Homo-oligomer: A and B are copies of this chain.
């Protein structure tokens, strides 16, 4: 016989419940963004949402589940909205354009969902979120690697992997600076991030036709 029913049959939710869940996740996002995951107390999240602790636990079995659900939704939305940001690129596309559009998309997402950065880069995140982050990280790396492979045909795989890691790391550093500023200054940092990535990669694609001297203005 079947040892057990579903591990958890999806509880029948009323519309009210769905609203509460959304409300709680929004509150959790706010609290996580300002205080980080571990420092955020479930009571604080419930208070932020204007409900009692008991109500919170009506919808989430524990604190980790809140972060997981939030992370799931964010990653889902990210994949859906920006999944193609790193799609294989026509090798004739200028490097500036490829880097610029990818950076713009990811920066836009992170600016719209600041909790994403807090959840993914906090040192105190629960195991499950870390797994998701690692999965996303790996996905991004392989995408970048594929993209670079098309641009840099004569580079060893190990160098390719390392370069991809560098690109992601440099992006992350730039993202932090971008999120720390606003308005015109933020835009300036976005541009600097693009510059850093382009200049880092440009010498590697130097053998391609028409790619010389893109960095220097003509004399």
On A, residues with C-beta under 8 Å from B are 36, 38-39, 122-124, 162-163, 165-166, 169-170, 172-174, 176-177, 185, 188-189, 192-193, 195-196, 199-200, 202-203, 206, 215-216
Contact at A206–B196, with CB atoms within 8 Å?
no
Neighbouring B residues of A38 by C-beta, 8 Å: 38-39, 124
Neighbouring B residues of A177 by C-beta, 8 Å: 165-166, 169
A32 shortest CB reach to chain B, Å: 11
Nearest CB to that of A193 among chain B residues? B166
Nearest CB to that of A121 among chain B residues? B123
Q: With A and B bound together, what is the CA distance between A162 and B192 in angstroms?
A: 8
Most buried by B among A39, A177, A196, A215: A196
- A123 CB contact (under 8 Å) in B123, B174, B188: B123
Q: With A and B bound together, what is the CA distance between A216 and B196 in angstroms?
A: 17
- A124 CB contact (under 8 Å) in B124, B176, B196, B206: B124
Q: With A and B bound together, what is the CA distance between A200 and B215 in angstroms?
A: 10
A144 shortest CB reach to chain B, Å: 14
Q: With A and B bound together, what is the CA distance between A170 and B36 in angstroms?
A: 24
Nearest CB to that of A178 among chain B residues? B169
Contact at B163–A169, with CB atoms within 8 Å?
no
- Besides A122-B123, A123-B124, A165-B189, 15 more A-B contacts (Cβ < 8 Å) are A36-B123, A38-B38, A38-B39, A124-B124, A162-B185, A162-B192, A163-B192, A166-B174, A166-B177, A169-B176, A170-B173, A170-B196, A172-B173, A199-B202, A200-B200
Neighbouring B residues of A39 by C-beta, 8 Å: 38, 124
